[in-house]
Chains A and B, each alone.
Chain A
């Protein structure tokens, strides 16, 4: 199928394992959802944020490594909707164990949504940092910036190097 082109084998295997549908239309719909969930489409920064882009809208969160090192998060201060952010600029903070850790925006863009569930229940970031614990969504103004971010495997190597905490 056209939507499967360009994906590597393990991704295809994952799709075929997870999704069963009778009609072609349903299969394409399930696959397009699964593409967004595939960890291969996520990009990472050296400050341990991730971004996953779909039609120029990036969803931003923090990595598993980050949530683990922060500990239980007690408060999430997220950027306001409408805020215009530059890449690598501070845009919010997460508080855990009396420490306020800054959130840096991975790319330049305008904030179009923030996760009210996380504001209400910050521990969602700890329990589901790649899914329900997303932080905010940004409309990219410079999509090329994505190319300078790490892929998941590059990020895994970066973590293992132990250079940055």
Chain B
């Protein structure tokens, strides 16, 4: 019932969108060998006799990452894609999106990202970490599981780039789109989710992204994190507007949308205007709970700390700090290190171990391997845990007065561990 409501209730302004799309979306590209392969063919008998899968293009009106991820999830769970394929197009305000099985503390500096006012979101599909802003267009191709084919989808995008702007591109073995003659710089990244009965493949298209912000937010330092979470594969990227200044996101919506509608889903044959006329066309989507019952609940789950950070596969943080000479006992020679080790499971600190070198020993207070478990265990892996540790060490040092300098040093080391991620 929910799905029927969604399908019937938001055919808003297909006509107005048609007016936005320029006529040259239909124009054929210059007569190169590539263009001839794309040239429109009249509907064949074979085409008519096929089981007619119809296509729709949905364009989300929201730019909130959690709303759009929730919309995507809602459609995956509730929509009936029997003989109906959907391309959902969406854009977001600046944010960082990690893959389902990734570690946000590995992939980005969570403190810095938060200071820049950006959200970190975890999507449901696999793959690596990406930066989104309004210069990036997201495309989600929904089908039944049996009809899932991501190479075909990328082929459609590649054709759209050529038809609209004459940009030649290739699809790499890793299923990224790379523009020809550009030193293997990606303009697209891909990920997917497979279930029963539905599946989706989504990809990004870098049209006019803020590359400085992208580099800063995806910058990875060696933080001493040991984990089996999936790691991102860093690749050089470029914007399509650097290749052709006329490439704009608004035009991209039309270019990819029309190419999607004119392409036969199984054979990838270009059905031209005839095939377009048989499709369901474009729809502007307003993702609210009224149109998509249950959407708010999905959005809440996707924006919760438990999903974004708590879903992180368990990991260990190991860091060493050189102990300043003044804290070492008399007669202690050489370089000695304080080793901090944290075990984090589901985003919560399970265990903390401090290994103090012999030089930091005292007649009272720290002794060798110190367990600061009671103060930190159970705390979310965040700045809050540092505050808790500060309090615990402060309590210790007030009891053993001469430990203040040393405990300050240990505390600073702990803070560094937390803030570095």
| A residues apposed to B, CB below 8 Å | 47, 74-75, 77, 90, 93, 95-102, 104, 119-120, 163-165
Contact = CB atoms under 8 A, between A and B. Distances in A.
B195 A99 contact: no
Contacts of B125: 98-100
B145 interface: yes
Query: Which applies to chain B's interface (DSSP): helix, strand, loop or mixed?
Result: loop
B345 to A, nearest CB: 11
Residue among A75, A100, A119 facing the most chain B CB atoms (10 A cut-off): A100
B101 A101 contact: no
13 contacts: A75-B313, A90-B195, A98-B128, A98-B175, A99-B125, A99-B126, A100-B101, A100-B191, A101-B193, A101-B195, A102-B196, A119-B228, A164-B146
A29 B324 CA distance: 63
Residue among A90, A95, A120 facing the most chain B CB atoms (10 A cut-off): A95
B138 to A, nearest CB: 15
Contacts of B194: 99-102
B100 A95 contact: yes
Contacts, number: 66
Residue among A98, A101, A164 facing the most chain B CB atoms (10 A cut-off): A98
Interface string B27-41: 000000000000000
B195 A120 contact: no
B170 interface: no
B230 A75 contact: yes
Contacts of A101: 193-195
Nearest to B200: A99
B146 A98 contact: no
Contacts of A97: 126, 175
A149 B192 CA distance: 28
Contacts of B100: 77, 93, 95, 100
B193 A75 contact: no
A101 B195 CA distance: 6
B190 interface: yes
Nearest to A100: B126
Interface in B188-246: 190-196, 228-230
Given A75-B101, A77-B101, A99 B196 contact: no
Contact of A74 (B145, B146, B230): B230
A98 B190 contact: yes
The 3 A-B residue pairs whose C-beta atoms are closest, nearest first, are: A98-B127, A99-B192, A100-B126
Contacts of B230: 74-75, 95
Interface string B134-158: 0000000000011010000000000
Nearest to B148: A165
A96 B193 CA distance: 10
A159 B100 CA distance: 29
B229 A104 contact: no
Interface in B164-191: 174-175, 190-191
Nearest to A119: B228
A47 B194 CA distance: 11
A139 B196 CA distance: 24
B124 interface: yes
B101 A165 contact: no
Given A75-B228, A104-B196, 17 more contacts: A75-B101, A75-B229, A93-B101, A96-B126, A98-B126, A98-B128, A98-B174, A99-B194, A100-B101, A100-B126, A100-B191, A100-B192, A100-B193, A101-B193, A119-B228, A163-B146, A165-B146
A47 B228 contact: no
Contacts of A74: 126, 230
A77 B101 CA distance: 8
A44 to B, nearest CB: 14
Contacts of A90: 195
Contacts of A95: 99-101, 126, 230
Contacts of A104: 196
Contact of B191 (A98, A163, A164): A98
A80 B163 CA distance: 50
Contacts of B99: 95, 98, 100
Interface string B232-271: 0000000000000000000000000000000000000000
A104 B195 CA distance: 9
Contact of B124 (A47, A98, A100, A120): A100
Residue among A47, A77, A164, A165 facing the most chain B CB atoms (10 A cut-off): A165
Contacts of A100: 99-101, 124-126, 191-194
Interface in B113-135: 124-128
Nearest to B150: A99
Nearest to A101: B194
Contacts of B128: 98
Contacts of A99: 125-127, 191-194
A149 to B, nearest CB: 15
B83 to A, nearest CB: 16
Nearest to B100: A100
Contacts of A163: 146
